[in-house]
Amino acid sequence: MSTAAVVERAAQILDERGPDGFNLAVLAESLGVRIPSLYKHIDGMPGLRRSIMIRAKSSLAGTLGHAAIGRAREDAITSMSFAYRQWALERPGQYPMTMRAPLPGDDDDATVSSSIADVVFSVLAGYDLRDDDAVDATRFFRSAVHGFVDLETRGGFELPVDLERSFVRLVESVVTALESWSRS
């Protein structure tokens, strides 16, 4: 058993059971070990949560990067938006961990968090958005897509209208906003 295997299994349990059903006893049992054996691989629950968060942010960055490869502007934004949503829906326990900004002095978290932003900045460069404009547009993109995904994963959409349709319209609106943003 490796540290990576412990963190991976913990992330799976978090997704399956949610934060209330996630603890070291459940993790140890699922791995067929006793709790003290976990401490060879993790630094308690805080260390385990941090490791899951770093892993989740890295995975999300990779997913967004893969979605954007070979695409530009509308195609890239659309592809990233759908990949982002799918990633979050498949990892409902890990997803909230990707939202937190890095703590001061946590270089690993800062690096992996920057890798997510770098993918979006690269796509926004296709709209000629750089510097403060790119930061503003990244915040806009993230707020729009995250807002939808957060409401969806928390059961906030109960009206009898197709969620796919609503998400497509949200993404179309983001693209329209970014296109007009680059003209202003």
Q: What is the pTM of this model?
A: 0.92
Number of domains in the chain: 2
Averaged confidence pLDDT in the chain? 94
Q: What is the pLDDT of residues 18-77, one digit of tens each?
A: 988 899 999 999 999 999 999 999 999 999 999 999 999 999 999 999 999 999 999 999
On whether both 65 and 1 belong to a single domain, the answer is: no
Helix spans in 91-162 (H):
107-124, 131-153
In-domain check, residue 47: no
Residue 58 neighbours by CB under 8 Å, 6+ apart: 112, 115
On whether both 81 and 38 belong to a single domain, the answer is: no
Domain span including residue 156: 55-183
In-domain check, residue 50: no
Helix spans in the chain (H):
3-17, 24-31, 35-38, 44-68, 73-90, 107-124, 131-153, 163-183
Q: Which domain CATH number covers 115?
A: 1.10.357.10
Q: What's the token pair of residue 25?
A: 């006893």
